[in-house]
Structure 1
Amino acid sequence: MTPTPAAADPARFVERFGSALTAAGMQRLPARVFAALLADEDGRMTAAEIGEVLTVSPASVSGAVRSLEQLRMIHREREPGTRRDVHVVADDAWHDVMINSATIYTPLTETLRDGVDQVGGAGTQAGDRLALSVAFLEFVTEEMQQLSDRWDKRRAELGH
């Protein structure tokens, strides 16, 4: 006898995944908004729709989507023929978030590199600590590009 699949329960997923993201360090409402967009059939919702799904105010949604946009986890589009904004999560959102992290690492790396001299230079404990941070972030950036290339190949193999 073949087991029957569990009944669809997007609301349960949204709360469970939102909680998992919160436990991982994300703020609670942005985590729930991201989960709601992931679970939505087309991954597109207005602020009013998000508020209705999560039973929160539109003002709360505004702050949460702004946070997610800054992290590049979602983006905003104008709904054709209207003045309403639609918040959209990419089908490959995790790839986009991880790979776009280079835009976060670049200013951090540059600031740390400049900071080596500002804290006493190479050979000081602080300077060496900052230099090691620079080396690590450069390494991560290079590895992320290689990882992205490998993912593109795997995704093609999966037919997506």
Structure 2
Amino acid sequence: MKDIDALEQSRARVIEAISQNMTLYGVTPSIGRLYCLLFFSDRPLTLDEMKDELGMSKASMSLAVRNLLDLNMVEKAWVKGVRKDLYVVKDDPYQRFFDLFITKWQPAIHTNTKAIEKTINELEELLADSDTSSEVRKNAQVDIKNLQNWLEYYDWLSRLINSFQTKEILQFFPIEKRMNTDE
């Protein structure tokens, strides 16, 4: 019995840490506990089993599972003879990070780039207008320069995201730890 308690205690430590850090994925600690329940399970679980284990309502459990599916952290499983939906952890932490980074940053880059490009065009129209005062002209020129720096940043960020999508990033940061040959 002592060994079971030690196992449960070690798992509880991980569950607590991971569930508290699930905010990085934009979800609540209870969704993190659900993820860990599936992670430590030796078999696929149904919504009812997860609900009973965590003491959540079926509606809350369904929403939590949907969040984890959207984050690509769990997936449906199939077991012969079982009619209910089953779920398992999709445990590829590297892909999970790539998916999270991509889904969080791509829309922001698109929105910000469009706003900046529109603003630069408007500022250039101000500069082309002979009635624009010298003070406004000076500020518009500074703004255009600063906004062009932002566009360069978003271009770089887009290329970084592309390297995640194509897995090119793994050429520079391979999953396998490289041995230090300088020692």
Q: Same fold (TM over 0.5)?
A: yes
Query: Quick one: distance in 1 between partners of 2:78 and 2:96?
Result: 22
Q: After superposition, what is the alpha-carbon deviation per residue over 1:19-57, rounded to whole angstroms, capped at 9, x for unaligned? A: 432465631221111111111123x21111111111111
2:81 is the counterpart of 1:60: no
Aligned residue runs from structure 1 range 121-140, under 5 A:
123=144, 125-126=146-147, 128-140=149-161
**CA pair 6-83 structure 1, distance change in 2 beyond 3 A:** closer
Task: Tell me the residue number matched to 1:142.
Answer: 163
The aligned counterpart of 1:158 is none
Say which one has the larger Rg. 2
SS across alignment from 1:88: strand
Question: Is the helix fraction higher in 1 or 2?
Answer: 2
| CA distance in structure 2 between the aligned counterparts of 1:119 and 1:98, rounded to whole angstroms | 33
Is the Cα contact below 8 Å between 2:73 and 2:91 reproduced in 1? no
**Letter paired with 1:70:** D
CA contact (8 A) 1:73 1:96 kept: no
Structure 2 vs 1, CA of residues 73 and 91 (structure 1 numbering), >3 Å: closer, same or farther? closer
Secondary structure at the aligned position of 2:56 is classed as coil
Cα offset for 1:87?
Answer: 1.4
Distance 1:31 1:111 in 2: 29
**Shift of residue 115, structure 1, vs aligned partner:** 3.3
Task: Give the drift of 1:100.
Answer: 2.5
SS of match in other structure, 1:80? coil
TM-score (norm 2): 0.62
Match of 2:116 in 1: 116
Given that 1:76 and 1:86 are in contact with CA atoms closer than 8 Å, whether structure 2 keeps it comes out as yes
Counting matched residue pairs gives 148
* Farther off after superposition, 70-79 or 120-129: 120-129
Runs of 5+ consecutive residues of structure 2 not aligned to the other structure: 122-142, 178-183
Q: Which amino acid letter does the alignment assign opposite residue 80 of structure 2?
A: P
Structure 1: gaps spanning 5 or more residues: 156-160
Tell me the TM-score normalised to structure 1 length: 0.69
